Amino acid sequence: MKKILRPSEEEDALYYSDFSGQLIDPPFVPPCQITFNFNYGSDFDGEQIVVDLTNDESKQVLLYLKEHLTSETKNNLCAQKSSVGEFLSQKT
């Protein structure tokens, strides 16, 4: 969640986690933003939500995904040689 401190051409803002309400540090950009796009046929057709998370909260979301993704999807993510792929390939 972004809270505008001083509206101006170059705005000053602080970011807070949309999960915990905790002030995000560094304050100028959230370390993780998750965007949900609801496409045609969903119960929320055409809507979008964006949530800001701390680094630790983003790891919790990744752990949830790790438990629920198909093996094929996990393998594809791990094959990308990204830090997210490495995180998902770690044994828990």
Report pLDDT digits (tens) over 30-61: 899 999 999 999 999 999 999 999 999 999 99
- What is the pTM assigned to this prediction? 0.76
Q: What angle do CA 18, 16, 64 make, to 5 degrees?
A: 40
Pairing of strands 12-15, 2-6: antiparallel
Q: Supply the pLDDT for residue 27.
A: 66
Q: Supply the pLDDT for residue 18.
A: 95
Contact between residue 52 and residue 13 where contact means Cβ atoms under 8 Å apart: no
Q: What angle do CA 3, 65, 53 make, to 5 degrees?
A: 15
Tokens encoding 19: 């999960």
